Amino acid sequence: MKRETLRKLVHIVFHAIAKIEFIGGENIPAKGGIILATNHMSRLDIPLLFLIPSRPDITALVTDKYQSYPFFRWFTQTAEGIWIDRTKADFAAFRLAAEVIQAGKALGIAPEGTRSTTASLLEAKAGTALLAVRTNTPVVPVAIAGTENAVSQFKRLRRPHIVTRFGVPIPPPALTRENREAALQRYTDEIMCQMAAMLPPSYRGFYADHPRLKEILGIEPNRG
């Protein structure tokens, strides 16, 4: 099966079994390399990004543990996904991801590095920030709500409502030897807090009390 055929099939299936809503799609550049950083609660999250109308060229980093599942292996390979070994610093996957971005395509990535089983944000790793800096590419924060219980709703013959919100692209910071680690951490926090601000409060998890999130939401700090 060709990639475009798969995309059309996914579109038909998703819209038949769920109410899919995209908000803020205008924040995604119509062309050129871009990173879409999303929260990750379900195996449906990455296929969902495949439906973004403005970027049919999107691909994604996918954990290589799914290679042992025939369907997910076939889907990822057909969608031209990039396998990544989450147990180590996978430089080969990092290089392939950079090549995709520099070729002017969109890349989906989950900064948390693994799927959350609590439907709330986990602490993110710095890999997404580093990839953005190395390729000089902005990151669009993506907030998905509704996939965490979609499968159970399917089984009860219910049609889940899945909402995906896209934030404004965040340009990468300039790094120096002296500020490298701190700058990567601030950039990672910015991506995740912008993501958290687009999610319902119960989804915010690790970032629920982060000062930057409160600043984005306009919450006055508690001065005791």
- For residue 220, the model assigns a pLDDT of 66
Given a cut of 60, is residue 1 above it in pLDDT?
Answer: yes
Please state, rounded to an integer, the average pLDDT across all residues of the chain: 93
As a whole number, mean pLDDT of residues 185-189 equals: 97
Residue with tokens 């990173």: 35
**Which residue did the predictor score with more confidence, 179 or 31?**
31
The whole-number pLDDT of residue 87 equals 82
**pTM of the predicted protein model:** 0.93
Query: CATH assignment of 3-217, given 1.10.3720.10, 1.10.760.10, 3.40.50.20, 3.40.1130.10?
Result: 3.40.1130.10
- Would you list the domain boundaries of the chain? 3-217
CA dist., res. 35 & res. 137, Å (int): 7
**Residue 221 confidence (pLDDT):** 61
- Residue 103 burial by Cβ neighbours in a 10 Å radius (0-12, 13-18, 19+): exposed
Residue of 135 and 153 predicted with greater confidence: 135
Predicted confidence (pLDDT) at residue 223 exceeds the cutoff of 60:
no
Most confidently modeled of 85-94, 150-159, 189-198? 189-198
Residue 11 reports pLDDT greater than 80: yes
- What Rg, from alpha-carbon coordinates, does the chain have? 17
Neighbours of 65 (CB within 10 A): 13
More confident residue, 197 or 65: 197
Name all contacts of 85-91 with Cβ < 8 Å and 24+ positions apart.
Answer: 86/113, 86/114
